Amino acid sequence: MVLLTTDAEPAGKKKSTLIVTIAGVAALSVVGLGGGWLVGTTLIPEQAPPAGQAEADVGGGQEAAGGHEAGGEKGEIPNIADSQPQLVRLDPIVTNLAYPSENWIRIELALLFNGAPDAALAEEIHQDVLAYLRTVSLQQVQGPRGFQYLRDDVSEIVDQRSQGRISKVLFRTFVIE
């Protein structure tokens, strides 16, 4: 009978220690959550909606919200060409790489013309860059050095095709999947 009482005491101590530990963790979690909420609400000021969105809510006009007339849908970045008429965005270029062929690349470019933009020249450049990207392997564009080489190659293609009518090539997006 002595054995039963000695075994019962450590089991009771283990249960009480476990309950105390669980209660302590729960209390600290509640204190941590409450403190995080308090600090978050006091340090971060309330953000006002962007000016263009506020005008759209008040006026109800699609042009103020960046509608199709303003160069995009609601919430989209306004068209750069609106502020710079010499800037021409090319359609996104999406193609698979030469090796491995299961990898895809997507690039969005913008061309800054010296004078009036030429849509036919922009389309020719689009096709030239697409043809070039189909010959590129994944190893050639990996890392910052590979991206710099790609930028240099695309700039060279643009310079050769435009014969000095385009001053700059801007990379808007660059994604490899």
Q: For residues 89, 94, 99 and 103, what is the CA-based torsion angle, rounded to 10 degrees?
A: 120
Which phi-psi region, left, alpha or beta, contains residue 75 (left: φ > 0; alpha: ψ -120 to 50)? left
Q: How many residues does the chain have?
A: 177
49: its two tokens: 């909606």
> Residue 115, class by beta-carbon neighbours within 10 Å (0-12 exposed, 13-18 middle, 19+ buried)?
exposed
Q: Which architecture characterizes domain 79-176 according to CATH?
A: 2-Layer Sandwich (3.30)
pLDDT band at residue 85 using 50, 70 and 90 as cut-offs: confident
pTM over 0.85: no
Strand partners of residue 88:
111
Cα→Cα distances 9→15, 19, 67, Å: 10, 16, 75
pLDDT, tens digit, for every residue of 19-64?
A: 999 999 999 999 999 888 888 788 776 665 555 555 444 444 444 4
